[in-house]
Amino acid sequence: MAVILGILFAVLFIAGGLFTAYGIRLKNKNKNGSKSKIIIGVSVFVVFFGLFIFIPFGLKTVKTGEIAVVQKYGEAVKTETAGMHLVNVVSTKYVIYDLKTQEVTSQIGAYSKDAQSMEATITVQFRIQADKVLDINKEFGSLDTLTSRIRAISEERTKSVLSEDSAMDLIAKRGSLSLTVETKIKDAVKQYYIDITLVAITDITFSSVFEQTVEQKMIAEQQIAKAKYEAEQAIIKAQQDLDVAKLNAEQAIEKARGEAEARIETARGEAKALKLKSIEVARALGFTIVDVLDADGEIVDYEIDMTGKTDAEIKVITDYLKYIAYLEAWDGKLPEVIGDGSGLGLIINP
């Protein structure tokens, strides 16, 4: 619109000039011509010349996403939003402020708590508060001045945070550093009429010597972790092998115990059978059999009365009884037999 108005007033200016030239020509042609025409022509020329200068330069455009501070004779008096505004170019000045998100990026050098040098990139995004633009204009002037102040504060707060921890701790806290710095910056810019929308610390790099040290430490930790894992796996396998061996041993013991108990029961059965047989033999030889009773009067055993018997008769019965006693006391272990090559064997631990 301002361009169209400028063109319009330029056309009027040219028309006024032509009209004035025409009046002068008439004067030269007719010396007795009317002086009033010349005066009118000059007046029109002056008016349109003033309009050509005043109106185009007095039109101020505020774009969407911007706000203007109106200064009259250098004093900020009000703000104007998006649109076209006609102002007095002599007394009024528009200072434009961008309401969109501003971004400040800085490369900084800093030192950690343990004096390790580093470089980092800090990015801060912010927006100015539209209702505080007059205050911003009065205290800082232009948006560039405010942005420079935000940059300086951001760099100073970032260096402060990075100096609070050792280099290794900073590496460990890398994910939370941006949040910590953002909190510090927000506290520092409360009086600057802005809203912080983003703070990000990126590309933190240490000296090459320190980077190599960290890499070697990580490799060592990985090797330790691997060795620990392998040791744990070896212990687990050994425990598993031990459990298997223990289970096999217990099974073998249970099997042997079962076999031994089976042999014991067999021997006891045989002993009982032999004892009954010895009783029958003793009866046949004329021995007297005496019943052995328990407390309830039940027969639990037999005894042979050898009174008046010959040595040979007694020996037969005695041998039976000795064998029976051996079978009853047997623990189930079989005798070990060692051969000597002659077909005979030597019984050990019968």
Q: Are residues 46 and 140 in the same domain?
A: no
Strand pairing category for 66-72 and 92-98: antiparallel
Q: What are the phi and psi torsion angles at 335 (to 5°)?
A: -70, 145
Closest CA to 72 of 100, 91, 48: 91
CA 4, CA 266: separation in Å to the nearest integer? Answer: 129
Question: Domain range for residue 311?
Answer: 227-348
Q: Are residues 83 and 157 in the same domain?
A: no
pLDDT tens track for 265-305: 776 776 677 677 777 777 776 777 777 788 887 777 777 77
Q: Are residues 108 and 91 in the same domain?
A: no
- The pLDDT of residue 131: 93
Q: Examine residue 314 and state whether it is found in any structural domain, yes or no.
A: yes
Among 206, 236, 260, which residue terminates a domain?
206
Q: Are residues 121 and 91 in the same domain?
A: no
Q: Are residues 253 and 340 in the same domain?
A: yes
Residue reference for tokens 């810019």: 189
Q: Are residues 114 and 190 in the same domain?
A: yes
Q: Are residues 248 and 297 in the same domain?
A: yes
CA 255, CA 217: separation in Å to the nearest integer? Answer: 56
- The pLDDT of residue 99: 92
Q: Examine residue 109 and state whether it is found in any structural domain, yes or no.
A: yes
Closest CA to 64 of 84, 88, 79: 84
> How would you class 324 by CB atoms within 10 Å of its CB: exposed for 0-12, middle for 13-18, buried for 19 or more?
buried
Q: Examine residue 275 and state whether it is found in any structural domain, yes or no.
A: yes
pLDDT tens track for 87-101: 666 778 888 899 999
pLDDT tens track for 58-108: 677 888 888 988 888 888 888 888 877 776 667 788 888 999 999 999 999
Please give the DSSP secondary-structure letter assigned to residue 342: S
Contact between residue 126 and residue 102 where contact means Cβ atoms under 8 Å apart? yes
Buried b (16+ CB within 10 A) or exposed e, 11-24: ebbeebeebbeebe
- The pLDDT of residue 23: 55
CA 225, CA 207: separation in Å to the nearest integer? Answer: 27
Strand pairing category for 345-348 and 336-339: antiparallel
- The pLDDT of residue 32: 47
- The pLDDT of residue 348: 47
Please name the amino acid found at residue 41: G
SS3 181: helix
Q: Are residues 65 and 109 in the same domain?
A: no
CA 275, CA 292: separation in Å to the nearest integer? Answer: 14
SS3 286: coil
CA 157, CA 183: separation in Å to the nearest integer? Answer: 10
Q: Examine residue 16 and state whether it is found in any structural domain, yes or no.
A: yes
Q: For the chain, which ranges sit under pLDDT 50?
A: 1-6, 32, 345-348
DSSP string spanning 197-242?
A: EEEEEEEEEE-HHHHHHHHHHHHHHHHHHHHHHHHHHHHHHHHHHH
Q: Examine residue 220 and state whether it is found in any structural domain, yes or no.
A: no
CATH number at residue 136: 3.30.479.30
Q: Examine residue 56 and state whether it is found in any structural domain, yes or no.
A: yes
Among 50, 77, 98, which residue terminates a domain?
98
Q: Examine residue 322 and state whether it is found in any structural domain, yes or no.
A: yes
- The pLDDT of residue 293: 81
Domain count, the chain: 3
Q: Are residues 123 and 58 in the same domain?
A: no
Among 156, 172, 206, which residue terminates a domain?
206
Q: Are residues 89 and 23 in the same domain?
A: yes
Q: Are residues 121 and 185 in the same domain?
A: yes
Strand pairing category for 83-86 and 92-98: unpaired
Q: Examine residue 306 and state whether it is found in any structural domain, yes or no.
A: yes
Q: Are residues 142 and 181 in the same domain?
A: yes
